[in-house]
Chains A and B, each alone.
Chain A
Amino acid sequence: MVALLRGFYPYAIAILIAFVMYKVMPVGAEKIDLGILQINSFFTKVTGAIGIAIIMAVSLNIVNGYTGQFSLGHAGFMAIGAYTSAWITHYGSIHFFGNANAMEGLFTKGSALFVASLLAAGLVSALFGYLVGLPSLRLRGDYLAIVTLGFGEILRALLNQTQPVLDEFDIEEATRGEIFTGLGGALGFSGVPKYSNLFWVWSVAIITVIICYRLKQSIHGKAFLSIRENEIAAEAMGVPTTHYKVAAFAIAAFFAGVGGALFAHTLGNIVSPNEMNYQRSIDFVIMVVLGGMGSISGSVIAAVALTILPESLREFSEYRMIVYAILLIVFMIVRPDGIFGIREFWEVKWIRRLFRRTPKETHAP
C-alpha cells in the first residue's frame, strides 16, 4: 500500500493542475471569450461533474474491470460517502463555526473540516464495501449483481426514512438520536455547506487515477486481473483470491465514498436518496464497459465523453436519450471489448500505429 503513495512529484503536479483549473474556470457571471466558444460557469459545472465521474468510473473499474466481479451498487457507496461527509460538515460547521455556511471558500477552517469529512466518507464507505464484498466469495456474475443492486436499493429506502435536517436553532433542543438521523429523508440533505470546488474535485480525481494506475501495474493489480481471467489458476499460483475479491470492493468503495462526498459539497448538486439510485450505478458501469474493462485511460475517456455527451445533445431535447443509447449500441458493436480492452491507450496497437514515425519494416518471406 505504501508503494502506491511513493513519490512526491506526481501528486504535487496533480494538485497544481487542479489549482490552475480552479483559478482559470469562470464562476458566477464571469466569462472567457474564445471567439467561437463562450466559456461560462456552466462549463465549470460540467468540468466538476467530469471530475467526479472520473473518480467513480476509475474506482468501479477495480471491481468490474480488474477483478471481473459485477457490481451494480456503486452509486450506493457514493451515497454513503455523500451522506457521511454532509453530516460531518453540516453538524460540524454548526458546532465549530456556529453556522453551516460560515466558512465556505478555498483554504478556510471549513476546508480542514471538509478534508477530514472526505477521509471519513471514504473509510465508512470502504467498510460497507467490505461487507458488500463478502457475498462475492460465494456468488458470481448475475447473482452478485443482484446482491449489489439490492444493497443500493435498501440504502435508498433507509435514507428515505430519515428525519429532517436540523439547523443551528433546532439543534439546541434536539436529542442525540435526532441529530444522528437528521439526514433529510426523501427531500434530501438540504443546506450542505458548499466546501467543494474544482480544486478539490480535480486533485482527488487525478490522485485517484494515479493510485489506480499504480495499483494495476503492481503485483496486486496482476493478482486482481488473474482472478478475472481464471480464478482456479490464480488460486493455483498462490493468489489468496478471497482476500483480493473483498479488497477490490473495499478499495473501490473508498474512492466512491470520496467521490460522493465531493458531489455533496458542490454548488447546485442535491444530496437526496433518489439522486443516487441504480440508474446512476448503471451510468458508471456503462463508463467502465465502454472504456474497456480494466483500462484506466479508457474509463477516464468514457467518463469525460459520457458526461459531456448528454449535455451537448441538449438541442435534441427529448430525443437525446435515444441518440445517447444508439451511440452506445453502435459503439459496443464496433468495439465489443470497449475502447481499449484491458490495456491503456498508449499500449494499444492501433494507436501506436498512428504515432509510429518510421515506416513499417518489411519482412522477407
Chain B
Amino acid sequence: MALLEIRNLNVHYGAIHALQGINVTVEQGKIVTLLGANGAGKSTTLRAISGLLRQVKGDILYQGRSLFGRPPHDIVRDGIAQVPEGRGIFPDLSVLENLNLGAYIRSDKKGIEEDRERALTLFPRIRERLQQKAGTLSGGEQQMLATARALLARPKLLLLDEPSLGLAPQIVLTIFRIIREINETGTTILLVEQNAHMALQAAHYAYVLECGRITMHDDAKALAESDAVKKAYLGG
C-alpha cells in the first residue's frame, strides 16, 4: 500500500479550475517530486494534502485513510509535516523557539531533544544561530530552519514546497543534499519544485503538472532523459 494516494483531486478557486482531477501516488520511503511552472497547481496540491485548503473534491488517502474534512493540526499529528512556500518561519522568535514550535504536537521531552540534535547535525549553520531572531537569518538559513523545524514533528511524510526558491546555487546544492540525507533516514518526501534539474536528480519518481493536469509521470531518471521534459524544463 502506498503511503499517500491522491485520487481524482479537483480544486476550484472561484471560476478557475486549478486542479483538474490529478492522481499521485507516493510510495513509502521514496522521494517523489511534482514538477511544473508557476500556476500549474503544485502548491495547491500540497495545501490540499496538509488540510490548509478545504474546498476540494476527490480523495486523498494517507495510510489507507481519507484526510478529507480534518483540520491541519490533526493531520500534522498523523505524521505529515509541511514546509510552507516562502519558508514560513516566525521572524520575531529566536531560532530555538522556532525549532521548539516544530515539536508543538509532541510532549516527549527526551525524544524532542534527540530530534533537535539530529536536525542540528544536518544543519550546522542553524546551530550557530540558535539565539538569533529567525528574521535576521539569510534566505538559505531560513529555508534550512524551516526544514529543520518540520523534522521536529518527526514526520513520516515531509511536504517540501519549493525549497530552492530564491536561493544561490551553492545553497540549493546543500539543501538538496540534506533532503536526500533526510530521506535516507526513512522519511518519505513529496517535493514540489520548479528547478526540474535538481529535483529529478534527487527524486525517485516524478510527476509533471501542467495547468492543473498531470501530463507525464515516470521514474525520475527516465523522465530526465525524455525529450519533452528536456525541452520544456531542462533547457534543451
Contacts and interface: CB of A to CB of B under 8 A. Distances in A.
Interface string A223-239: 10110011011111111
A222 interface: yes
Contacts of B153: 237-238
Interface in B148-176: 149-150, 153
Interface in B77-105: 77, 81-84, 88-93, 97, 100-102, 104-105
Interface in A215-261: 219, 222-223, 225-226, 229-230, 232-241
Given A222-B101, A237-B149, A239-B101, A229 B91 contact: yes
B104 A219 contact: yes
Contacts of A222: 93, 97, 100-101, 104
Interface residues of A, number: 20
Given A219-B104, A223-B101, A238 B76 contact: yes
Nearest to B98: A226
B50 to A, nearest CB: 6
Interface string A116-129: 00000000000000
B29 interface: no
A225 B101 CA distance: 10
Contact of B52 (A225, A236, A238): A236
Contacts, number: 71
A230 B89 contact: yes
A294 B104 CA distance: 20
Contacts of B73: 235, 238-241
A229 B92 CA distance: 7
B229 to A, nearest CB: 30
Name the residue in B71, B91, B104, B153 with the highest tally of chain A Cβ atoms < 10 Å from its Cβ. Answer: B104
A219 B153 CA distance: 14
Interface string B55-85: 0000000000000000111001100011110
Interface of A: 219, 222-223, 225-226, 229-230, 232-241, 294, 341-342
Interface of B: 50, 52, 71-73, 76-77, 81-84, 88-93, 97, 100-102, 104-105, 149-150, 153
